[in-house]
């Protein structure tokens, strides 16, 4: 029996296991097992190191912003983040990113009507913001650890999805990468100083051979914000996920570089121990 944590970062149910409990050669199989609805059930899985320098490795070696935000909440609950300007803050290592990622957690406002959830955000630093790359009628936005294919139009029927996504990955030259996203954009509007729109994300991970229509996607949210920034110059966004939750993105100049923060609510849904007999 090994410990697990299941968190919901605005959708996108995520299972985190300790790195020391699952050897690297078994992580893809363990991820497929725990993600199954016949097991714990989730859209993705990652492996965490709590001792020393905190680190998150995703199931396919990709970068996942939502899982990073979920990891930040666990670190806050474990007392492994520092107090900073009314929040809990720190730096974490994440697969797919060469630099550390800054994280911040604001604890739930218990006085709010009906209560609230903790707000966790993660920051990526860029010397220059990624520029969308045209791929015929599609655009490719590369963020650390994963590339997302951005498009408008109607979402395809379920029976067409796998073949269409495979064709798009080939068209954009990302069929051999560790992971790739497919993001369908809704119409954008200006509201309260933010550019607001919705996304429908699908994420493919090569190592686990999974194509998941996600209820939320943090890195896809970041890629969509970068795409809209290139079109409109906007720097603040509210992006509604299929779960109905909105994730926020803000882009801030720091001298000649950029900091891009993405955040939203995170719920610790369950924790306990799981049996991986036959896998480990």
| pLDDT 10s digits, 74-120 | 999 999 999 999 999 999 999 999 899 999 999 987 665 566 899 99
Among residues 261, 97, 72, 259, the alpha carbon closest in space to that of 178 is found at 97
Task: Spell out the domains of the chain, with CATH numbers in brackets.
Answer: 2-127+265-274 (3.10.310.10), 133-250 (3.10.310)
Distance, CA of 226 to CA of 141 (rounded, Å):
8
Predicted confidence band at 233 (pLDDT cuts at 50, 70, 90)?
very high
Q: Strand, coil or helix: what is 122?
A: strand
Indicate whether 146 pLDDT > 60: yes
Predicted confidence band at 12 (pLDDT cuts at 50, 70, 90)?
very high
Return the pLDDT at 113. Answer: 55
Indicate whether 181 pLDDT > 80: yes
Beta carbons of 232 and 87 less than 8 angstroms apart:
no
Q: What is the DSSP letter of 215?
A: S
Distance, CA of 4 to CA of 35 (rounded, Å):
12
The structure's pTM equals 0.90
Return the pLDDT at 140. Answer: 98
For the residues 241-263, what does the mean pLDDT come to? Answer: 95
Return the pLDDT at 111. Answer: 60
Among residues 151, 71, 154, 140, the alpha carbon closest in space to that of 105 is found at 71
Helix axes 65-77, 218-232, angle to 10 degrees: 120
Distance, CA of 77 to CA of 117 (rounded, Å):
13
Distance, CA of 93 to CA of 73 (rounded, Å):
15
Torsional class of 84: left (φ above 0), alpha (ψ -120 to 50), beta (otherwise) = beta
């Amino acid at each position: 029996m090994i410990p697990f944590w299941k968190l919901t970062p605005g959708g996108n149910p995520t299972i985190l296991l300790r790195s020391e409990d699952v050897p690297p050669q078994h992580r893809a199989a363990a991820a497929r097992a725990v993600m199954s609805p016949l097991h714990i059930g989730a859209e993705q899985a990652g492996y965490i190191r709590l001792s020393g320098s905190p680190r998150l490795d995703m199931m396919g070696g990709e970068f996942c912003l939502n899982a990073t935000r979920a990891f930040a909440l666990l670190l806050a609950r474990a007392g492994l983040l520092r107090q900073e300007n009314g929040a809990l803050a720190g730096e974490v290592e994440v697969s797919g990113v060469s630099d550390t990622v800054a994280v911040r957690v604001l604890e739930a406002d218990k006085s709010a009507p009906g209560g609230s959830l903790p707000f966790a955000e993660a920051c990526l630093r860029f010397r220059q913001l990624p520029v969308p790359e045209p791929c015929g009628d599609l655009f490719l936005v590369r963020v650390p650890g994963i590339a997302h294919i951005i498009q408008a139009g109607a979402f395809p029927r379920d029976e067409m999805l796998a073949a269409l996504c495979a064709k798009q990955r080939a068209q954009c030259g990302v069929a051999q990468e560790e992971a790739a996203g497919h993001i369908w954009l809704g119409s954008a509007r200006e509201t309260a100083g933010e550019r607001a729109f919705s996304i429908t994300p699908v994420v493919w991970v090569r190592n686990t051979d999974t194509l998941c229509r996600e209820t939320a996607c943090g890195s896809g949210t970041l890629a969509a914000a970068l795409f809209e920034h290139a079109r409109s110059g906007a720097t603040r966004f509210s992006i509604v996920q299929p779960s109905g939750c909105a994730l926020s993105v803000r882009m801030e100049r720091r001298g000649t570089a950029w900091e891009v923060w993405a955040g939203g609510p995170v719920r610790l849904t369950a924790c306990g121990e799981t049996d991986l007999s036959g896998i480990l």
